[in-house]
Amino acid sequence: MTALDRAHNIEDLRRLAKRRLPQAMFDYIDGGAEDEGTMRGNRDAFCEVSLIPRQLVDVSKVDPKTTAFGCDIDLPFMIAPTGMSAMFHPDAERGVARAAGRSGTLYSLSTMGSTSIEDVAASSSGSKAFQIYAFRDRALTSEFIERARSARYDALILTVDVPVAGNRERDLRNGMTLPPALGLMGILDIARHWRWSLDYVRAPRMTLANVAHRIAEANADISTLSGYIANQFSSSMTWDDARSIAEEWGGPLAIKGVLHPDDARRAVDAGASAVVVSNHGGRQLDGAIASMDALPGIVDAIGDRCEVFLDGGIRRGSDIVKAIALGAKACFVGRPYLYGLGAAGEAGVEEALTILASETRRVMALMGATALGDLDRTCLSHRTLAASSHQRGE
Ligand SMILES: Cc1cc2nc3c(=O)[nH]c(=O)nc-3n(C[C@H](O)[C@H](O)[C@H](O)COP(=O)(O)O)c2cc1C
């Protein structure tokens, strides 16, 4: 029996990742901005919502499949874009994309990924989205749109919650900055995690593969590249830029990082076919509303006009069921699969997806729901809302 066989939930995978990864790498996945209040709030918000099951329903067949971006997906959760997966395991983005494809769900590649748009496309025939930011150099955005189109990506995700970088203090403390500034303790810790170190030195040198050609053009190393990238992030993007990106892409587009119903309306007006209700997993604005708390207002504002997805804090199938009952079409998960990747590469990612899939099916059966369409707000009790409507005498 391997350690992976003994992982029964996402928290078990988190513990395994913590054991295999040097602290700086683990904290880069696990941490959030400043006091990490929003990151914790994402989890707490799920605990505030309780499920009300229906009994004596034939649940011998439960089917959690749905569609997202016009693609059929077997599971109501997808892979959120995250950067630099090669830092955690040499299987990196290719391994995650393959595991997602085998599980029948959609993989999202980050601009900041360590594998190129084209290499990910070649490694898995599953559904795929490419995530971009607003770049100062509009030609770079156009280049990404063209490359995603040529490589037959199904959707584009425009992340809008990074007008400036979040303040992640664990990373500052650990020297996980660009360029890296690992102190002596950090280097000793890396040496202590010899399995990870061996994998890392045997693997091809990590690069930010989607901008690799720009590195070559600039004849730059990773530190000057980081300056180049930081310089490329635009702090002056507006809804007009989102509209022009939507027009240029012309296909399914999600705007990711929306937390206000008015912004959700503006996203639809700008041409988005989906919004992702997200606070970047609590990695950007600490103090921001939990995704699950923002969801109902956004569903009410635009749920009949476009797809609404949610991410942030999902660690259990029951969290996914709650989000869907509250009106999300599907969810994205970030850290759950990164813990799997950090613990055991592609096999660990597959384990994370299998755990979430089997939990989702089991919770649906226990809820008396044979399909996602059986889940709605009548399946939920919200402690805070219930208390306030009680106070109002409703
Ligand atoms: C290590 C890490 C790197 C991330 N990198 C990106 C990124 O490059 N682009 C992006 O849009 N979101 C990025 N995110 C945010 C995720 O897409 C997603 O919103 C978040 O992880 C969801 O919360 P969860 O981790 O609790 O599931 C990253 C998240 C993590 C944990």
| Short-list 37, 87, 2, CA closest to 338 | 87
Nearest protein Cα to ligand 1, atom 5: 82
Residue 386 has a pLDDT of 60
Nearest CA to 275 out of 83, 8, 297 is that of 297
Confidence class for position 383, pLDDT limits 50, 70, 90:
confident
**Residue type at position 79:** I
Q: Report strand pairing: 380-382 vs 330-333.
A: unpaired
Q: Is the pLDDT of residue 221 over 70?
A: no
pLDDT above 90: percentage of residues in the chain? 82
Of residues 40 and 390, the one with the higher pLDDT is 40
- The protein residue with its alpha carbon nearest to ligand 1, atom 1, reads 29
| Residues noted as catalytic | 280
Q: What is the mean pLDDT of residues 76-103?
A: 97
What is the average per-residue pLDDT within 7-22? 98
Residue located nearest, by CA, to atom 21 of ligand 1: 334
For the ranges 77-91, 199-213, 268-282, 337-351, the lowest mean pLDDT is seen at 199-213
Q: How far apart are CA 105 and CA 182, in angstroms?
A: 36
pLDDT band at 89; cut points 50, 70, 90: very high
Distances (CA, A) of 129 to 32, 126, 141, 151, 227: 24, 10, 15, 11, 26
Question: Would the pLDDT of 74 be above 70?
Answer: yes
- Retrieve residue 231's tokens: 């310089």
Grade residue 380 by pLDDT with cuts at 50, 70 and 90.
very high
Q: Looking at the predicted structure, is the pLDDT value of residue 302 above 70?
A: yes
Taking the centre of ligand 1 as the mean of its atom positions, its distance from the CA of residue 365, in whole angstroms, is: 30
Q: Whose CA is nearest to atom 10 of ligand 1?
A: 81
Cis peptide before 22 (omega within 30 of 0): no
**Length of the chain, please?**
394
Residue 272: pLDDT over 60: yes
Distance in Å, CA 327 to ligand 1 centroid = 22
Residue of 26, 43, 232, 283 to mutate, ligand 1, most atoms within 8 A of C-beta? 283
Query: Could you give the angle at which helices 261-269 and 291-302 cross, rounded to 10 degrees?
Result: 50
What is the pLDDT of the chain when averaged over all its residues?
A: 93
Distance 138 CA to ligand 1 centre (A): 23
pLDDT at position 75, please? 98
Ligand 1 in reach of 131 Cβ (< 6 A): yes
SS3 159: strand
pLDDT class of 110 with cuts at 50, 70, 90: very high
Domains with residue ranges and CATH for the chain: 4-391 (3.20.20.70)
What is the per-residue pLDDT across 160-182, written as a single tens digit (0 to 9) for each?
A: 999 998 999 999 999 887 667 88
C-alpha of residue 80 to centroid of ligand 1, in Å: 6
Is the C-beta atom of 278 inside 6 A of ligand 1? yes
Nearest CA owner, ligand 1 atom 28? 82
C-alpha 51 – ligand 1 centre gap (Å): 27
pLDDT at residue 245, rounded to an integer:
97
